[in-house]
Amino acid sequence: MGATAPREAGNVRSLHPIRVLLAAADPRFLRAATFLLDREGFEVVGACNPDEAPALAGAERPHAVVVDGNESVAAAGRTALAIEAAGLPLHVLVVSSGGMRRGGPLTRTSECGSFAELTRELRRLYGT
């Protein structure tokens, strides 16, 4: 079964794919993450540079934004702050070799050290 999140419309509850936006400067990261998330049943709604992520997230309304933090965790943090400052109701997951962390100054941000951690965290966040 794919990665799904509950949606309620009136008194009907249905499941739909977890929508993910990717943000990275490295096109190899974008291609690999798109392939791996698609394979796991997630719906990749877009891929962009980190500077474009807040605007694209506002337009596409994903459940989560995955940011490449391997080149610069500080830049990934700035992207997460910009998304949170925009008041968007979504989670930001930063992929970096530093391992899994939650919390810190950002309330809706997690850091994942591997693809397996990323997919587990997405499923945990959305109850699948």
| pTM of the predicted structure, to 2 decimals | 0.81
Residue ranges covered by each domain of the chain: 4-125
Helices and strands (H, E) in the chain, number of each type: 4, 8
Q: Within 13 A of 80's CA, how many CA atoms are on the CB side?
A: 26
96, containing H or E segment: none
Q: Please report which confidence band the pLDDT of residue 103 belongs to, taking 50, 70 and 90 as the band edges.
A: very low
Q: What superfamily in CATH does domain 4-125 come from?
A: Response regulator (3.40.50.2300)
* 117 closest CA partner among 90, 97, 89: 97
Q: Which residue has the tokens 């994903």?
A: 62
Cβ atoms of residues 53 and 44 within 8 Å:
no
The per-residue pLDDT for range 63-99, each reduced to its tens digit, is 999 999 888 888 888 998 899 898 888 889 888 876 5
